[in-house]
Chain A
Amino acid sequence: MPPLPDFDQQIAPLLKNKCVRCHGPAKSDAKLNLALKTGIVRGGKTGKLFVPNDPESSLLWDQVADDAMPKGEEPLSAQEKELLYNWIKAGAPGLPGQVSETPDGDEHWAFQKLNPPLVPEVRDAFRVGTVLDRFLEARLEKQGLHLGPEAAPATLVRRVSLDLTGLPPTLEEIQRFQADAAPNAYEMMVERYLASPHYGERWGKYWLDVAGYADSNGYFNADTDRPLAWRYRDYVIRAINADLPFDQFIREQLAGDELVRYTPDKELTSRELDMLTATHYLRNSADGTDSSDGNEDEVRADKYAVLEGTLQIMGSSLFGMTVQCARCHSHKFEPLTHTDYYSLQAVIYPAFNIEHWAKTRDRQIPAVSPSVWRAAEESVKSFEAELAHRKQEHQEWLKAHPEPSLVVFADDFDAPGATLGPHWSNTAPGDTRPLGIPAVSVDSSMAPAVQISDGKLKVIESGAAGDRAISTRSVIDWTPDHPGGWVQATFELVEGAPYVGYLVALHDYSDEQPDQGGNVLFDGAASGKAQVYLDYPGVDSKQAGPIGQSGYTVGHRYGVRVTNVGEGQFELAQVVDSELEPNTVKVPESALPDGGFGFALCCGRSFVVDQIRIESSFDSAELAGEAAEAQLVRQAEQTAFAARLQEFEKQRPQMPGELAHVADGSELAPEVFLLERGNYKAHGAKVDASPPGFLQEQGGEPAFLPTPADLKSSSGRRLALAEWITRPGSRASALLARVTVNRWWQHHFGTGIAATTDNLGYSGTVPTHPELLEFLAAEFERSGWSQKAVHRLILNSSIYRQSSEASPDSLRLDGDGRLLSRFPIRRLDAEAVRDSLLAVAGEIDRHEGGPYVPTDRGGDGEVFVKQETAGSGRRSVYLQQRRTQVAGLLEVFDAPTLVFNCAARVSTTVPLQSLSLLNSPFVRLRSESFASRLEREEPSDVAARLDRAFLLAWGRPPTTQERQAALLFLQEQGDVYHDQAHATHHAWTDLAQMLFAANPFLYVE
């Protein structure tokens, strides 16, 4: 029996010596970490390392027995092998019997507290400019390489400009930098771009990608509009431009409402309103709950999908981790448990309470302080009151100055003992058969009937059907002879009904004569407008459309005016209180034969009217003296009033807009339960709000600080998370710093220091330069979380200032450029392609912020911004970011289609990009404008124009060969277009387009 090997004394040191370099915390090949007991028990990608008591079946033994491992190293000695064999044979003592399937957080490099490394020594100190360079140079020297030479000034200014602002440098910017002989000219140039408002537009967009920002709700096919999201986009751009400390930036987005102690009636500063706007971060998830239908379970699932989307965005943007696996079960690859997921969900649950769900439009508040909002409401109210007052005054004036007219018929039903019979009938003039069956009883109360009651005309109807009516006995001429002449019938509505019907030109109601026309019914509705029916009733009756706009309400005068508008046409206009309303219809003379006026009795529409008056205009020939004078005065006043009204409308105060935010609404947090297997109905244990266990500090201190006493109507949970995640010196803030600087490194160099920028967990890749990442993260925290400080560190380094051209050594020993022995050449991303095209063409609209510029989908499915749309030349970040409608040019150059969020973009090279550069109307239009700009700025000197063209598009003048090729091309195109009017312009357009399509434009060197 061999002696029992001691794990700590013998086995652990052996593994550490022989294996941990490749299978350890820094470089976990095959996902194996042999530096830790739990790692040894858990095994790696290919499974468990050993079967206790059975070395022959154990992977560990199998690998070392025949010297397959350690790879490329001295094999284990016979003695060492024996030690290992015996240890397995003895059942691998000294290890924990069981470890959870989910790994621990304290094993992984990214989950540790920040541990700033010593700055490494380098052999050739003259090669390094900044501290940062030492990390790279030290690594390169190991490989027998060095940092490369500095790029040319023209290359540098284009690189920095596009990198920091997403726009190519202007001619002035290029010249200013090239002419600046100061030793810190480069650093000053970097500062200028960092101070540009366009910096925030580019770097804000990167955060917006990570935060899942979109201008639409997604989820369902309809992908409805999200009209207030732009305020969050502007907040982000402002914050980045102002270099708002990043920890504060995160706190505001998680809990801006709790930070400002928001309650609906609290007065807020503009900075505090900003912090409320910031919480829209938590609303960026797709959200279909406004249009959810289907059964209860589906509606519930749609709500949970919002919570899940939000958690996914939080996990990815804050922890650099995919959390959604833990929705159903503890994470297989990361130290995130099933409970952790729901504890995190419990943090945001009070703001997204499934049982008391608020739809998106109910999560909006004034975008100004309550007092400002109230003041605005007041001024709108007083404006409306003043408007009503002016209209009233005008009405009174009109009453006092009646339009001169001839009264053709009038009845006020007031004469003592009056009856209807003498003036009204249940037949139309000249018709023998009644107006509908049963005939209306006149002067009776036996419905259908009409009678005078209290000096008014009472229309009594009870039946559901029947097209009955009464008519005046008088025959009225409804078609004035001369253009401009009119006739109108009006009445006062005393008691209303849902519909009030009246007729003109009543004539041959029973349709005994073969002729058409007459019997024009106006069906006035309480809800607004009157529907006009010609030749009513009968199968030949037809609708002529609605007229007017006001609803028929008690206390007003209603009726119709028929005006001869010439060419045999008569316009029917609704008259309300002696005003003519818009929306009219025109009918021919034949529709309006001479006939009576009357009311319709139908369908239970009983109503009471009074003061019936039928008037007609004077013929102009007849109009004279005072009447003519009065008519002129009246017309003048009406014109003047219309003008005064229009002028006054301009002063209408606008209500301030709204903002979309997040708030709990109550200090009582609802109970949250773990969901078994993610099933919404399978409530498991109740969970408390807490951060993920693997990032909590060891040693008893509660993760979340207590809720501040002055926090009202909010649970304080998000504030607690925000404070926890940014707490200085903690593991959480260390991870946040690492995730963030690694993402920025990716934007500067194309690849993160750890390549999987969306995953710094166990399953992510290991950093190429771990100390560099650690150093940057520590500097970030030390600088007070200043993003611009990190940019300065990176951009001012010799690493960043290197040339992109590879030395033979660099190509041979650093083929893929991952060691950064040269600056990686990279294609412009989607937004930079579009924005650069606009900028070079001289068409960019540099207006900042505000509602999005809408995109359109053409009939052929292509998505674009219409040239005539206001703001069509604005930067891409301001275009509508509709999830299902990404502008074609941006999409083809790999702009993300947002479902959740986007932490790393791909950069593809596909023929559709070539087609778009060659044939898309957008590129062709920019080329044309670029040519015009060149002709404008260099009208005569062709050589100078060529220089300018290359300088604007590529940031440098042409080489001799390029110049010759361009000149030859201009000549060739001149020949092709020789018989056209603008041959030269056409040739320059074609040249400009090829400058855009060429790699020196599309790539940053």
Chain B
Amino acid sequence: MSPFHDLALFASRRAFLGRSFGSLGSLALTHLLTEAARPSQAQARVQAGPLSGPHHRATADAVICLFQHGGPSQMDLFDPKPELRKRDGQPYEGDLEIHFSGQKGNVLASPFTFEKRGNSGLELSELLPHTAGIVDELTLIRSVVTESVDHESALRLIHGGRFQAGDPTWGSWVTYGLGSENQNLPAYVVLTDPGGLPVDGTRNWTSGWLPAVYQGTAFRPGASPVANLANPADVTPAARANQLRLLDRFNREHQDRYPGNTELAARIANFETAARMQAAVPEVLDLSDESEATRRLYGLDNPATAEYGARCILARRLIERGVRFVQLFLAGQPWDTHSNNAESLKGLCARTDQPSAALVLDLKQRGLLDRTLVMWGGEFGRLPISQGKDGRDHNRHANSIWLAGGGFKGGYSHGQTDEFGYKAVDQVVNVHDLHATLLHAMGLDHKQLTYPHDGRPGSLTDIAVTKAEVIRELLV
């Protein structure tokens, strides 16, 4: 039987859902990958296994997170501030928390114009003409706050809820809670930039103290996206088939002496899974069956958008095949516009605006958006004053992030910042509340999604400290 036979069933997520969504329980088709990653028998006594299913009815089954490293400038993209124009070049009166305190400048207006867009009339910057086209699908939160103005700490906060390194990211938590729906692909896939790793490297998708199986698997650019995916050059398919048969014989004879040992059984099954992965991963990466219209939609015909567009298509293909969590990163931290803010933003938007919007449109056209959560944003925002001549410094008190699909409202803006866009003042959303809400959409109760850590139940939101709560207003 062709290894693609199973995949055909997954070609459309709708078809898949139609097949298995009849009962809620079957959504938690916790697949072999997850199953096998249960702690070994001995450890099972001290560590809970993955959940048997969601805590409540989910509005999203999958996540695509388009992460924007460096801190996109909210007052140039999402949060219009006419007051800045009025006081452009004047000294800012009042206290500001400044990262590079030696380079404090005056009020810096955005050179970009904002317009009301879509039926909802959400205002967006001229830098985002394509996002403007999907504005009615978006929940735009203009009031996200965090607890650090340092990139690494702020990244750990938005990914994993704590500013020290070493805790699991929310992608790991979702994967731990729900597993994957395709045993031939990793449940949590990270698509890195061919230009290099983002700041804080692989920690952006660490599973921390959750078992390693829940960490993101980075698909590397190039021919072998997963380590050791291709057979060794000198082993022909026929030779490999003989090898696997011999291995199976060895293992089964060994297993016969230890009846009931599930770990040994899982390891035997893993060799079959591994062989299927060897076929499934190249298939998902092959974009040749994408239509010309789709390729144009994502900007594959334009050098500025082609690379990011291709990864956005790949994200959709992974979700279609049952991958739970896909995260895209950019190399370094390109949104960190300490100097030459305006010009840098033009280039970054030219690269990301069209593919990001295309992803949402494409998911909608394929009927996938209602069960897929798309998130776009960075670790913090930027200041309303200039840094040096023409830059903007970090700002943890205001950040704009958008969410689409997966049960989030469309054409809805949440929260407000002060007249300068420095501080969120109304409907403030901290990262912990955001996490609680994201998990909620996935059918997971952030209070119940725990794993033993340091002898007590560890969680993403750690409510004893953060008092995190689900923000109902964001959800349909």
A-side residues, CB < 8 A to B, are 218-221, 223, 286, 294-295, 298, 305, 322, 328, 332-333, 750-751, 755-756, 758-759, 761, 763-765, 804-806, 811, 815-818, 824-827, 859-862, 884, 888, 891-892, 894, 897, 899-900, 906-916, 918-921, 924, 959, 961-962, 965-966, 969, 972-973, 976-977, 986, 990-991, 993-995, 997-1000, 1002-1003
Contact = CB atoms under 8 A, between A and B. Distances in A.
Given A816-B44, A919-B231, A969-B246, 17 more contacts: A322-B455, A333-B455, A764-B455, A827-B40, A861-B218, A908-B36, A908-B213, A909-B266, A910-B36, A912-B228, A918-B228, A918-B271, A920-B228, A921-B232, A969-B245, A998-B250, A1003-B254
B229 A286 contact: no
A301 to B, nearest CB: 8
Top 10 A-B pairs, shortest CB-CB distance? A759-B455, A899-B166, A914-B274, A322-B454, A919-B228, A998-B250, A763-B455, A751-B42, A755-B46, A915-B228
B2 interface: no
Contact of B258 (A806, A815, A860, A916): A806
B467 interface: no
Interface in B250-274: 250-251, 253-255, 257-261, 263-264, 266-268, 270-271, 273-274
A221 B271 CA distance: 35
Given A758-B454, A825-B258, A295 B274 contact: no
B166 A900 contact: yes
| Most chain A beta-carbon contacts within 10 A, residue among B149, B150, B218 | B150
Contacts of A892: 227
29 contacts: A223-B201, A294-B99, A295-B98, A295-B100, A298-B149, A305-B164, A750-B42, A751-B43, A751-B46, A758-B455, A806-B259, A817-B42, A826-B42, A860-B227, A908-B37, A910-B36, A910-B213, A912-B228, A919-B230, A969-B245, A976-B242, A990-B235, A990-B242, A990-B243, A995-B250, A999-B254, A999-B267, A1000-B250, A1003-B254
A221 B199 CA distance: 6
Nearest to B166: A899
Contacts of A998: 247, 250-251, 254
B178 interface: no
A910 B464 contact: no
Contacts of A804: 258
B203 A912 contact: no
Contacts of A966: 246
A51 B40 CA distance: 43
B211 A908 contact: yes
Contacts of B452: 756
Given A994-B243, A1003-B264, A761 B37 contact: no
B51 interface: no
Interface in B24-66: 33, 36-37, 39-47
Nearest to A293: B100
Contacts of B44: 816
Contacts of B110: none
Contacts of B40: 750, 826-827, 907, 909
B471 interface: no
A804 B266 CA distance: 19
B152 interface: yes
A936 to B, nearest CB: 20
Given A218-B165, A976-B242, A920 B227 contact: yes
Nearest to A768: B45
B222 interface: yes
B304 interface: no
Interface of B: 33, 36-37, 39-47, 98-101, 149-150, 152, 164-166, 192, 197, 199-203, 206, 211-213, 217-218, 220, 222, 224, 226-232, 234-236, 238-240, 242-243, 245-247, 249-251, 253-255, 257-261, 263-264, 266-268, 270-271, 273-274, 277-278, 452, 454-456, 464-465
A997 B247 contact: yes
A400 to B, nearest CB: 60
A756 B455 contact: yes
| Most chain A beta-carbon contacts within 10 A, residue among B45, B46, B217 | B46
| Most chain B beta-carbon contacts within 10 A, residue among A332, A907, A909, A920 | A909
Given A758-B454, A910-B270, A918-B271, A295 B99 contact: yes
B275 to A, nearest CB: 8
A991 B456 CA distance: 46
Contact of B264 (A223, A914, A999): A999
A257 B45 CA distance: 42
B274 A915 contact: yes
Contacts of B33: 910-911
B37 A909 contact: yes
B70 to A, nearest CB: 13
Nearest to B266: A909
Contact of B274 (A220, A756, A918, A973): A918
Nearest to A971: B242
A421 B7 CA distance: 93
B457 to A, nearest CB: 10
B37 A969 contact: no
A59 B192 CA distance: 54
Contacts of B212: 891, 894, 906, 908, 910
Given A906-B212, A998-B247, A969 B227 contact: no
A997 B202 CA distance: 28
Contact of B41 (A816, A891, A915, A973): A816
A969 B242 contact: yes
Contact of B263 (A219, A862, A909): A909
Contacts of B249: 961-962, 965
A681 B146 CA distance: 19
Contacts of A995: 250
B232 A919 contact: yes
A916 B267 CA distance: 13
B266 A973 contact: no
A219 B101 CA distance: 23
Contacts of B260: 806, 811, 815
B254 to A, nearest CB: 5
A906 B36 contact: no
Nearest to B183: A911
Given A218-B165, A755-B46, A912 B455 contact: no
B251 to A, nearest CB: 5
Contact of B236 (A815, A817, A976): A976
A914 B238 contact: no
A825 B240 CA distance: 28
Nearest to B32: A911
B232 A924 contact: yes
A976 B239 contact: yes
B369 to A, nearest CB: 31
Nearest to B232: A924
Contact of B206 (A294, A862, A897): A897
Contacts of B37: 908-910
Nearest to A986: B234
B303 to A, nearest CB: 22
B274 A765 contact: no
Nearest to A749: B42
| Most chain B beta-carbon contacts within 10 A, residue among A804, A912, A973 | A912
Nearest to B240: A918
Contact of B253 (A897, A911, A962): A962
A959 B264 CA distance: 19
